[in-house]
């Protein structure tokens, strides 16, 4: 990598670490209160065949909750596609506004949670879907920030290749390890914080996302000037 590329990689990894940690924290809160995930769908969708035999709180069909969360996550990803337009990381894309959107959704989810916890899940799922689709491609890698199944798969594969003597660039291992570390640390910190502030947790997370979004907006022009010549990460 060139000097500019190295700085861009550090920026991307810092953002990925932060976003993975925040998503893990939000997910821990939702799982702790309801037993349902909002940042990944594999486990929830796998439970759909069992849904006819169960209901939530004795009144809400499990199938309805699972389906609504899944559709909401995809809606959030659709919003990212509509407003960011491309999954390839590039500093000129409107990530600041996307983060403010996530913040607004989590703030609404916090308000809704006060009256009905389950009603907050699809709103939080929209926020996670929006985040997960913000920027997923970087120099040929596909990285997600709301779940780590793919991250663990690719990290294990690259590590195995490296140990068996194949040429694997170190930055690829670092990228996956960074997202993994962010998710684990975010879950641990989020759990402790959730125990302290309870139902206001999502509002605190909304504030964190909001500050990050405003910071990106404030620095965006400077970042564009800094990396103006580094267009290898763009796709038309």
191-222 residue pLDDT tens = 999 999 988 999 999 999 999 999 999 998 88
> Is 45 domain-assigned?
yes
Query: Would you say residue 187 lies in a domain?
Result: yes
Cβ atoms of residues 121 and 30 within 8 Å: yes
* pLDDT number for residue 47: 67
Output the domain CATH number for residue 222.
1.20.1250
Over 70: is that where the pLDDT of 62 sits?
no
Q: What is the pLDDT of residue 226?
A: 82
Res 56 pLDDT > 70:
no
Instruction: Give me the domain span that covers residue 95.
Output: 18-226
Q: Is residue 68 a contact partner of residue 121, using CB atoms and an 8 Å limit?
A: yes
Please report the pLDDT score of residue 82 as a whole number. Answer: 92
SS3 153: helix
Tokens of 27: 């997910």
31, exposed or middle or buried, with CB in 10 Å at 0-12, 13-18, 19+? middle
- Cβ contacts of residue 40 below 8 Å, gap of 6+? 27, 146, 147, 149
In a domain, 119, yes or no: yes
- How do residues 158-204 score in pLDDT, each as one tens digit? 999 999 988 889 999 999 999 999 999 999 999 999 999 988 999 99
pLDDT tens for each residue of 67-80: 889 899 999 999 99
pLDDT score, position 4: 57
Number of domains making up the chain: 1
Q: By percentage, how much of the chain surpasses pLDDT 90?
A: 56
- pLDDT tops 90 at residue 123: yes
Question: What per-residue confidence (pLDDT) applies to 17?
Answer: 96
Q: How far is Cα 14 from Cα 169, in angstroms, rounded to an integer?
A: 19
In a domain, 136, yes or no: yes
Find residue 231's DSSP bridge partners: none
Query: Does 228 score more than 50 pLDDT?
Result: yes
Is 217 buried (19+), middle (13-18) or exposed (0-12) by CB count in 10 A?
middle
Residue 53 confidence (pLDDT) above 70? no
Whether the pTM exceeds 0.75: the reply is yes
Q: What SS3 class is residue 35?
A: coil
Asked if residue 171 is part of any domain, the answer here is yes
- Domain-embedded: residue 5: no
- Sorted by sequence, the CB contacts under 8 Å of residue 224 that are 6+ apart come out as 91, 92
Other C-beta atoms within 10 Å of 227: how many? 18
Across the chain, what does the average pLDDT equal? Answer: 86
SS3 of residue 55 by DSSP: strand
């Amino acid at each position: 990598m060139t000097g500019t590329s190295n700085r861009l990689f550090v920026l991307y990894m810092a953002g990925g670490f932060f976003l993975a940690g925040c998503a893990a924290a939000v997910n821990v809160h939702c799982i702790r209160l309801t037993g349902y995930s909002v940042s990944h769908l594999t486990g929830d969708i796998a439970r759909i065949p069992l849904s006819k035999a169960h209901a939530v709180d004795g009144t809400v069909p499990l199938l309805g909750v699972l389906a609504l969360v899944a559709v909401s996550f995809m809606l959030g990803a659709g919003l990212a596609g509509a407003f960011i337009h491309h999954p390839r990381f590039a500093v000129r894309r409107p990530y600041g506004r996307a983060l403010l959107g996530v913040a607004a959704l989590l703030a609404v989810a916090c308000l809704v949670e006060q009256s009905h916890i389950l009603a907050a899940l699809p709103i939080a799922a929209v926020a996670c879907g929006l985040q997960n689709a913000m920027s997923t491609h970087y120099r040929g890698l596909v990285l997600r920030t709301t779940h780590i199944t793919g991250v663990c798969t690719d990290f294990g594969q690259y590590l195995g290749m490296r140990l068996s003597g194949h040429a694997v660039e170190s930055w690829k291992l670092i990228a996956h390890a960074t997202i993994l570390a962010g998710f684990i640390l975010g879950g641990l910190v989020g759990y402790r914080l959730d125990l302290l502030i309870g139902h206001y947790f999502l509002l605190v997370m909304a504030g964190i996302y909001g500050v990050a979004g405003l910071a990106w907006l404030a620095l965006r022009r400077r970042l564009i000037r800094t990396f103006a010549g580094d267009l290898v990460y763009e796709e038309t």
